[in-house]
Structure 1
Amino acid sequence: MRRWLVPVLVVALVLTGVWGFLQMRSRQAWELQAENDFQRAFHELTYHVNGMENLLAKASVVNTPVQTNKVFNDIWRHSYSAQQNLFALPLTDVDLTATRNFLAKLMSFSYRISEESAEGKNLAEKDWNVVRDFKEQAAFLSGELDQMQTFVFDSAIRWVDEGSPQTAAAFGAVEGNTGQITKNFIMVEDGLRRLPDPSFDGNTLNVKVKPVGISGNDINAQQAVAKAQKFLEGRDLSNFQFNTEALSQGEIPVYFVEAIPPERDARNVIRLQLTRKGGHVLWMLEERGVGSSKISLEESIQAAQEFLRTKNYQNMKVAMYADFQNIAEITFVPVKGDVFYYPDAVKIQVARDNGQILAYDASG
């Protein structure tokens, strides 16, 4: 063997080891971030359901339209946020129809009551029966989530071990833990189905069991990367590496795509989820440090509106907005006539240091 070949092999082995180490670090960073996101979504879900239970109890004693309006506006906000948190959990293989219907119906009912109370109307007698049924459902769900929260904490179960087999495998699921939370949610579903189902006028927000409105042909992993690159047009993605990480086989089969910067800094990775059918982007997230605010909330909203325009959204109105650590989060809702279609809401996060779009969520 030539003498020069030994150093070359040594260098090759070292480079291979470094590459493997960087891959492992990137994967660990993604896994940690995903676990934190799932935990936050679950804690916030529990918080909002607890809030709904307390407010429904309070609704039983209010006696003026002004008080009623305030209470049911707050119930609407909690039910809307709870829906968003529920969809953020890795439970794509679990039938959550009863839970989703409960949240959707409560949001629809509370919106109608808040509108009527704003006109000076009091609750009708039949509405009190609906409030009673919702209160019973909320109390049950709140208690179950509180117990589940304690169970997850005491058992040190990871959320990344839940969900579809493909998702769990992508995160290196720990054998023996997978499915524990899933089983708890199945029991919650069974319990909710045994409770009275509120029936009321104006219920137009029932959850669809099967997703609709997703058009196009099935795409492969390579096409998913191309779709992600198209969605991220306008960003400097020079030398970024695009990977597809997992394919979920839940209600909406999806691809997970990550764009990794040349320096392989996990803090600047851009992640997207696209539907397998048609390659529609459900959400996008770029996590980076945001500096001090240099643009106003109004300018942030304008940046989000311009972004939606480039994605061919029309008739989108601002439903709510908030500012947290120099990041503006704006929720847009499509409007047709005087009707706001809240189930089709889109969330946008804007960095207030430069107006960049950090996150997009159209997952429902």
Structure 2
Amino acid sequence: MGVYQVAGELYLSMQEYTKSRYYFTKMVQVNAQVNYLNEAVLHQLLLFKLDSTQGNFKEALRHYQHYKLLNDSIFNEAKSKQIASLQIQYETQAKVQHIELLTKKNEIQQAMLKQKDFQQAVFIIGSLLLLLLLVLVYSRYHIKQQSNKLLESKQQEINQKNESLSQLLAEKESLLINKDELLEEKEWLLKEIHHRVKNNLQIVMSLLNSQAAYLEDDKALSAIVDSQHRVRAMSLIHQKLYQSDKIATIAMEEYIKELVENLGDSYSLHGRIRFRLEIIPIEVDVVIAVPLGLLINEAVTNCLKYAFPQDREGIVYLSLRAVSPSNYLLTLADNGVGLVNTADIFPTRSLGMKLMKGLSKQLGGILTLENTDGLKISVLFTHSSLSHSYGIQAK
């Protein structure tokens, strides 16, 4: 049908009206079988144009009237369908609104029922809470009565304790007033104790010296002299304590310097052996100062006695330094003759070396020996209560 329509319009434009009418007639016949109303309207309009062009006005008018009739019927049918669609939409919307109205009414009824149930529940709960509140108020009232009685008894007890505290405070104020006097007296007593200990040690040294006057054996005399040195090392600590403003700690830098000088004087070195001291400025209590002083005394004594035989000259290096905030290293080295075997320095009959081992253990330290260009004795120990600065002072 579409091919016939295109062919008829083509021949119409080419003014071959016979061929155009032939294809238009074929077009109308095909549409009569399928009955497409919109196509029929177009066909009548084309036939109207063909008849008008050929001057067949009667047929042209008939085709035009048929065209208008079909066109109006299409319009009416569309309007009818539109009206029917609008009617259906209206009825549907009305039904939806009706359903919504019924739903709203149902929701309102449900809400009213729920509100009624809620009011009943609130009434019941409120009654229970009111009853509970009454019971609680009565209970609190009863407890308050008991608390008041207990508070009265406690108040009496507190008043008695306040009186006792007032007396204690009065005594405390009296003690605070006399605090400075008591502290000064305590300091004086401690210094007096150190002074008496130092005097007693001096007496012991005098007794040893007196005993040495009656001895002819060289080993016995050497033992007496070593004992005097040890007693002098302890005596020097107590001398420093009662001479210093600080009665609890010893300044090791000054103490070691004086201890070494005393040992040098006792052996009459006359400059033959020189000392190099590198001591950090630290202060220690008596618990550390005594074993540390005795350990230095034994090490220096052994060095002066055995490291430089036959009046040899030499240097003794003594250092005390911090290797970490709580670890300290005591080192004594000389450039003397040394030892053939370091095991020789630990004989079972050597009191000095036994003392050094025992004192190192008392310090919680590790004693080591090195025999290189002389003898080197090192003691690494730990003590967190030492107060020090890390500056090294050489003398």
**Greater helix proportion:** 2
> Which one has the largest radius of gyration?
2
Give the TM-score taking structure 1 as reference length: 0.30
Q: Which has the higher contact order (CA 8 A, sep 6+)?
A: 1
TM-score by length of 2: 0.28
